[in-house]
Homo-oligomer: A and B are copies of this chain.
């Protein structure tokens, strides 16, 4: 049995933490390096006591060192902030590692758009064309041949999978789409900050970055590719007092009169046989907990004839499907493993 040696660059954030969880249960991939400037020298189980006694728990953290990673790993997962991943990703590529970048640095095909939204220069424009957007359902074949995967953002994953069937079947107008998205607090990261303290998030609810979240151009890039024409989307995120989970409620105008049954059938037919996209029966709506800790994307659709609207709801786990699980799926593909290897987890309920 092949064992792929994995290096994790940036282990102290939530996506890094989630990668350690998933790799602890992966039959063909083993965590051999985990980097942290501040925690170098300590075993992982010191900062993550939940890993004690599990594969990976004994890995001693190291400062990030491309040479060391290149010498010891087959694949590197970059769980560092945007901007920081750019150089590290390109460097590790040059050393021959396969790279899955969980940041936004290689997601946008147009570096000018990247710079406009992320406010940092893109210093690795030459590598951009090689990067494959790692949404397995859409780009799985390309990922298999890729050396550098740009792992999709959490909101884009939920939004694209939610809208895909409607766009493919021409059920909705491509203009005027509104995405009202709600995310758990792991999406805000693991940095010390007053705004994400327990007492500032618990028992409350708020929107943020209305109309200007950085995932907007990523969503528009991919929806435009699916629709075959340029799309502008109103994307509006909110912060939920839960740890994990994204629910998107997507509003689109029906392109033509259509029955709820036909809409339901179009969705079911599109995703027939899909491993992780579960189209719910008519009348059921997704819940974030039903996908907790997994790769599932649950999709429900309501044809509201009274208002002429299609309302699509999609739910994912932002950390697993929306980040680290999807990264492992992409690594599976890059190394010729079945995409679901180590990832057919049952949701933790409740």
Contact = CB atoms under 8 A, between A and B. Distances in A.
A234 B311 contact: yes
A184 B290 CA distance: 19
Stoichiometry, as copies per complex, reads 4
Contacts of A207: 247, 249, 285, 313
Contacts of A347: 21, 50
A232 B307 contact: yes
A185 interface: yes
Given A211-B304, A350-B17, A350-B199, A242 B205 contact: yes
Interface residues of A, number: 86
A74 to B, nearest CB: 21
Contact of A293 (B253, B296, B348): B348
A204 B348 CA distance: 11
A315 to B, nearest CB: 8
A204 B245 contact: yes
Given A50-B349, A185-B198, 16 more contacts: A21-B347, A21-B348, A21-B349, A49-B298, A50-B292, A186-B350, A198-B201, A200-B350, A203-B242, A203-B289, A204-B289, A205-B287, A206-B285, A207-B249, A211-B304, A211-B309
